[in-house]
Amino acid sequence: MKFSQSLVAAIALTTSVSAEADSYDYIVVGGGTAGTALATRLSLGLSKSKILLIEAGPAAPDDLKINVPGFRGSILGSNLDWNFTIVGQSSLDDRSVLVNRGKVLGGSSAMNYLCYDRASSPEYESWAELGNRAGVRTP
Protein backbone atom coordinates (compact mmCIF):
# COMPACT_ATOMS: atom_id res chain seq x y z
CA MET A 1 0.00 0.00 0.00
CA LYS A 2 2.81 2.44 0.76
CA PHE A 3 4.09 2.21 -2.81
CA SER A 4 0.71 2.69 -4.42
CA GLN A 5 -0.37 5.44 -2.02
CA SER A 6 2.93 7.27 -2.60
CA LEU A 7 2.56 6.80 -6.33
CA VAL A 8 -0.97 8.19 -6.26
CA ALA A 9 0.20 11.19 -4.22
CA ALA A 10 3.12 11.81 -6.55
CA ILE A 11 0.94 11.58 -9.65
CA ALA A 12 -1.70 13.87 -8.17
CA LEU A 13 0.84 16.45 -7.05
CA THR A 14 2.96 16.49 -10.18
CA THR A 15 0.27 16.46 -12.86
CA SER A 16 -2.08 19.03 -11.40
CA VAL A 17 -2.07 22.79 -11.70
CA SER A 18 -2.47 25.26 -8.89
CA ALA A 19 -5.94 25.19 -7.36
CA GLU A 20 -6.01 28.94 -7.85
CA ALA A 21 -6.21 28.82 -11.64
CA ASP A 22 -9.06 30.75 -13.23
CA SER A 23 -10.56 27.79 -15.05
CA TYR A 24 -10.17 24.08 -15.62
CA ASP A 25 -10.94 21.81 -18.52
CA TYR A 26 -11.82 18.93 -16.20
CA ILE A 27 -12.69 18.80 -12.51
CA VAL A 28 -12.61 15.39 -10.84
CA VAL A 29 -14.29 15.27 -7.43
CA GLY A 30 -13.01 12.56 -5.12
CA GLY A 31 -9.43 11.38 -4.81
CA GLY A 32 -10.24 7.72 -4.22
CA THR A 33 -9.15 4.93 -6.52
CA ALA A 34 -11.54 5.89 -9.32
CA GLY A 35 -10.98 9.65 -9.08
CA THR A 36 -7.20 9.43 -9.07
CA ALA A 37 -7.23 6.94 -11.94
CA LEU A 38 -9.51 9.22 -13.97
CA ALA A 39 -7.45 12.34 -13.25
CA THR A 40 -4.25 10.49 -14.15
CA ARG A 41 -5.69 9.16 -17.41
CA LEU A 42 -6.94 12.61 -18.35
CA SER A 43 -3.57 14.19 -17.59
CA LEU A 44 -1.69 11.58 -19.62
CA GLY A 45 -4.02 11.73 -22.60
CA LEU A 46 -4.68 15.46 -22.57
CA SER A 47 -1.36 16.90 -21.45
CA LYS A 48 -2.30 20.50 -22.29
CA SER A 49 -5.55 20.37 -20.33
CA LYS A 50 -5.98 21.87 -16.87
CA ILE A 51 -7.23 19.13 -14.56
CA LEU A 52 -8.26 19.70 -10.97
CA LEU A 53 -8.52 16.74 -8.59
CA ILE A 54 -10.48 17.63 -5.46
CA GLU A 55 -10.14 15.43 -2.36
CA ALA A 56 -11.67 16.39 0.99
CA GLY A 57 -9.01 14.55 2.97
CA PRO A 58 -5.25 14.95 3.06
CA ALA A 59 -2.57 13.29 0.99
CA ALA A 60 -1.01 11.07 3.64
CA PRO A 61 1.59 8.89 1.89
CA ASP A 62 3.77 8.57 5.00
CA ASP A 63 1.01 8.14 7.59
CA LEU A 64 1.74 5.10 9.75
CA LYS A 65 -1.99 4.39 10.15
CA ILE A 66 -2.03 3.63 6.42
CA ASN A 67 1.39 2.09 5.86
CA VAL A 68 1.85 -0.26 8.81
CA PRO A 69 -0.07 -3.54 8.78
CA GLY A 70 -2.19 -3.81 11.89
CA PHE A 71 -2.43 -0.04 12.43
CA ARG A 72 -5.59 0.12 10.31
CA GLY A 73 -7.75 0.23 13.41
CA SER A 74 -6.23 3.57 14.33
CA ILE A 75 -7.70 5.08 11.13
CA LEU A 76 -11.24 4.36 12.31
CA GLY A 77 -12.83 7.51 13.69
CA SER A 78 -9.80 9.64 12.75
CA ASN A 79 -9.48 12.55 10.34
CA LEU A 80 -8.87 9.95 7.59
CA ASP A 81 -12.35 8.43 8.05
CA TRP A 82 -15.66 9.96 6.99
CA ASN A 83 -17.25 8.39 10.09
CA PHE A 84 -20.54 7.55 8.39
CA THR A 85 -23.25 5.91 10.47
CA ILE A 86 -26.28 4.33 8.84
CA VAL A 87 -29.72 4.83 10.34
CA GLY A 88 -31.15 2.08 12.49
CA GLN A 89 -32.11 -0.99 10.49
CA SER A 90 -35.07 -3.17 11.40
CA SER A 91 -33.06 -6.27 10.48
CA LEU A 92 -30.48 -5.16 13.07
CA ASP A 93 -32.99 -4.57 15.87
CA ASP A 94 -32.94 -0.86 14.94
CA ARG A 95 -29.22 -0.57 15.65
CA SER A 96 -27.17 1.90 13.65
CA VAL A 97 -23.85 0.76 12.25
CA LEU A 98 -20.63 2.67 11.65
CA VAL A 99 -19.51 2.51 8.01
CA ASN A 100 -15.87 3.39 7.58
CA ARG A 101 -14.94 5.18 4.35
CA GLY A 102 -11.58 6.73 3.56
CA LYS A 103 -11.30 10.52 3.66
CA VAL A 104 -7.77 10.61 2.27
CA LEU A 105 -6.06 10.63 -1.10
CA GLY A 106 -6.55 7.05 -2.23
CA GLY A 107 -9.98 6.83 -0.60
CA SER A 108 -11.11 3.70 1.17
CA SER A 109 -8.31 1.71 -0.44
CA ALA A 110 -6.09 3.40 2.16
CA MET A 111 -8.08 1.53 4.84
CA ASN A 112 -7.54 -2.00 3.56
CA TYR A 113 -5.37 -3.51 6.32
CA LEU A 114 -2.67 -4.03 3.65
CA CYS A 115 -4.38 -7.35 2.89
CA TYR A 116 -5.48 -9.12 -0.24
CA ASP A 117 -7.51 -12.21 -1.04
CA ARG A 118 -6.20 -14.78 -3.42
CA ALA A 119 -8.59 -15.76 -6.20
CA SER A 120 -9.95 -19.30 -6.45
CA SER A 121 -8.62 -21.79 -9.01
CA PRO A 122 -11.74 -21.44 -11.22
CA GLU A 123 -11.21 -17.67 -11.38
CA TYR A 124 -7.59 -18.10 -12.52
CA GLU A 125 -8.73 -20.67 -15.08
CA SER A 126 -11.40 -18.31 -16.45
CA TRP A 127 -8.77 -15.58 -16.83
CA ALA A 128 -6.57 -18.02 -18.75
CA GLU A 129 -9.51 -18.84 -21.05
CA LEU A 130 -9.79 -15.13 -21.85
CA GLY A 131 -6.29 -15.25 -23.28
CA ASN A 132 -4.03 -14.32 -20.37
CA ARG A 133 -2.30 -17.69 -20.18
CA ALA A 134 1.23 -16.40 -19.64
CA GLY A 135 0.41 -14.25 -16.64
CA VAL A 136 -2.04 -16.57 -14.89
CA ARG A 137 -0.77 -18.95 -12.25
CA THR A 138 -3.28 -21.10 -10.44
CA PRO A 139 -2.83 -21.45 -6.69
**In a domain? residue 126:** no
The stretch 100-113 carries a mean pLDDT of 88
Question: Is residue 1 pLDDT above 70, yes or no?
Answer: no
**In a domain? residue 119:** no
Higher pLDDT, 88 or 69: 88
Give the number of domains in the chain. Answer: 1
**In a domain? residue 66:** yes
Task: Indicate the average pLDDT of the chain.
Answer: 81
Which residues are within 8 A (CB) of 103 and not within 5 positions of it... i.e. 6 or more apart? 56, 57, 79, 80, 81, 82
Let me know: does 38 contact 51? Beta carbons within 8 Å: no
State the pLDDT at residue 134: 66
**In a domain? residue 65:** yes
Burial (CB count <10 Å: 0-12, 13-18, 19+), residue 101? middle
pTM, two decimals, is 0.65
Let me know: does 12 contact 53? Beta carbons within 8 Å: yes
The stretch 10-16 carries a mean pLDDT of 49
**In a domain? residue 123:** no
H/E run at residue 40? helix 33-45
Bridge partners, 99 (sequence order): 84
Higher pLDDT, 29 or 121: 29
CA distance 61 to 29: 19
What DSSP state is assigned to residue 21? -
**In a domain? residue 11:** yes
Segment 76-91, tens digit of pLDDT: 889 999 999 999 999 9
**In a domain? residue 61:** yes
Convert 41-54 to b/e letters by CB count within 10 Å (16 or more is b). ebbeeeeeebbbbe
Residue 99 structural domain = 2-111
The residue type found at 130 is L
**In a domain? residue 135:** no
The stretch 31-43 carries a mean pLDDT of 94
